[in-house]
Amino acid sequence: MVKQVLEESETVVVRRGLVVGNYCHDVLIRDDRVVGESLGGAASFVSNVFDNLSIPCHYVSKVGPDFAYSVSHHPISCPSSMTTLFHAYFTSDPDSIGNHDRVLKRIHACDPITPSDLPESQFDFGLAVGVAGEILPETLERMLDICRVVFVDIQALIRVFDPVDGTVKLVGLRETGFFHLLPRIGFLKASAEEAPFVDVEQARKSCCVVVTDGKNGCRIFREDGEMQILPFPAVQVDPTGAGDSLLGGFVAGLIRGLAVSDAALLGNFFGSLTVAQIGVPKFDSRLLQRIKDELDRKAPWTDGCERIDDGAEFKKSAEHEEFQAYLTRAAKLLSTYHAQEDQLDP
Ligand SMILES: Nc1ncnc2c1ncn2[C@@H]1O[C@H](COP(=O)(O)OP(=O)(O)O)[C@@H](O)[C@H]1O
Ligand SMILES: O=P([O-])([O-])O[C@@H]1[C@@H](O)[C@H](O)[C@@H](O)[C@H](O)[C@@H]1O
């Protein structure tokens, strides 16, 4: 952990994190028409939330020489590999793709991230957020060795890719080379579609499991209980990255000392902001300031992160409803700002 001395009497404890996962390029295709192209990869959505909330992290991500984005955390450039590329297929008729949100195809995969790509330091927390199979079992093992607590997006562990057209399929965690590491994982995030591949009942015995469920919010499972965390309303334009932003908001909340239930609300909040835009979302600065002010009020930095793995009773915090109302008001204010801007500039 880094201690930043501000004044003699005031020391701010800044927790240091490690985020591991490749950036990628996403092409969104609706009804056979390209409707958007953007920077993607869970690491880019997570860094967007972390940077906006001033959560300092070291990022390990690989791209090829074709990588065309300017990002705040420079990736490792691999001269002989293409940047990971996904085609995401959406349809106006969800039944035609078996009721899935989308069908993902991995068109190119950049080099995997190996243990030797990780820094030789210790971290307060780590996020394993691969998208295209780039995190190897030995890489996750190394993360578990050097990070005090590790958050894992299950998509990093259970995705397999059709050898012909790259279609993403899922396999049971038990069938992967990661299963033996489950008892060492602190937090596991899965979407409702991925959850059946995890065996949540087994996983919750050793870690905290967050199952996201689109417009219904998310549910948190621990050995000592479970709870539903309500969503925030959103007009969905593109669901890409909602789960990643949720994870970013959730981890940021925990790092800032929020209870698990309140951190999950913050996660839902960033998930809802993400579906309203194509690609990595741009957050309104006034909205961010309100969030930061509230975080400072609820949990000053000096308390940061103590709740990540403590043995506190698993229930909604006493301030949960108040925090939910605060975030709801902040979201409404954002709509008001937008309506006013539309009036000024129709
Ligand atoms: N239509 C929506 N309206 C409001 N919030 C949403 C919506 N879709 C997603 N979210 C938020 O984003 C989170 C992650 O979305 P989800 O679709 O479950 O994950 P993924 O992007 O991994 O498939 C949800 O738990 C919820 O908090
Ligand atoms: O939508 P989501 O599941 O949160 O996360 C997405 C990944 O599943 C996808 O592989 C990647 O291309 C997107 O950029 C995004 O990271």
Reported ipTM: 0.98
Tokens for 81, please give them. 């590999």
CA quadruple 324, 260, 61, 128: dihedral positive or negative?
A: negative
- CA 175 to ligand 2 center in whole angstroms: 22
- CA 122 to ligand 2 center in whole angstroms: 28
Nearest residue CA, atom 9 of ligand 1? 214
* Ligand closest to CA 250: 1
Which protein residues are within 6 Å of ligand 2, measured from CB? 24, 26, 40-42, 45, 86, 104, 131, 155, 240-244
Which protein residues are within 6 Å of ligand 1, measured from CB? 191, 212-215, 217-218, 231-232, 234, 236, 239, 242-243, 246, 268, 271-272, 275
Residue 87 has pLDDT above 50, yes or no: yes
Residue 7 has pLDDT above 70, yes or no: no
| 142-151, 165-174, 332-341, range with the lowest pLDDT | 332-341
| CB neighbour list of residue 207: distance below 8 Å, 6 or more residues apart | 182, 183, 185, 186, 187, 188
Question: Residues 111-116: what's their mean pLDDT?
Answer: 98
Ordered structural domains, the chain, with CATH: 17-297+316-335 (3.40.1190.20)
* Ligand closest to CA 232: 1
* Digit-coded pLDDT (tens) for 212-247: 999 999 999 999 999 999 999 999 999 999 999 999
The model's confidence at residue 303, banded by pLDDT at 50, 70 and 90, is very low
| 3-state DSSP assignment of residue 294 | helix
- Catalytic residue, chosen from 101, 244, 293, 345, is 244
Q: In this predicted structure, what is the pLDDT of residue 331?
A: 87
Q: Report phi then psi at 161, rounded to 5.
A: -130, 130
Assess whether 296 carries a catalytic annotation: no
Atom in ligand 2 nearest the alpha carbon of residue 42: 16
> Which residue is associated with the tokens 């209870």?
259
Residue 9 has pLDDT above 60, yes or no: no
Residue 11 has pLDDT above 70, yes or no: no
Whole-model pTM? 0.93
Tokens for 310, please give them. 């403590």
The model's confidence at residue 99, banded by pLDDT at 50, 70 and 90, is low
Residue 112 has pLDDT above 90, yes or no: yes
* Ligand closest to CA 331: 1
Atom in ligand 2 nearest the alpha carbon of residue 129: 16
Residue 5 has pLDDT above 90, yes or no: no
Atom in ligand 2 nearest the alpha carbon of residue 88: 12
Residue 199 has pLDDT above 70, yes or no: yes
- Nearest Cα to Cα of residue 135 among 166, 111, 165: 111
Question: Residues 301-319: what's their mean pLDDT?
Answer: 67
- Nearest Cα to Cα of residue 197 among 167, 147, 237, 158: 158
Which residue among 29, 86, 157 has the greatest number of ligand 2 atoms within 8 angstroms of its CB, and so is best to mutate? 86
- Partners of 225 in the beta sheet? 222
Largest alpha-carbon pair distance within the chain?
64
Residue 100 has pLDDT above 70, yes or no: no
d(C-alpha 84, C-alpha 81), whole Å: 9
- CA 307 to ligand 2 center in whole angstroms: 28
Q: What percent of the chain has pLDDT over 70?
A: 87
| 16-20, 91-95, 112-116, range with the lowest pLDDT | 91-95
Q: Classify residue 313 by its DSSP letter.
A: -
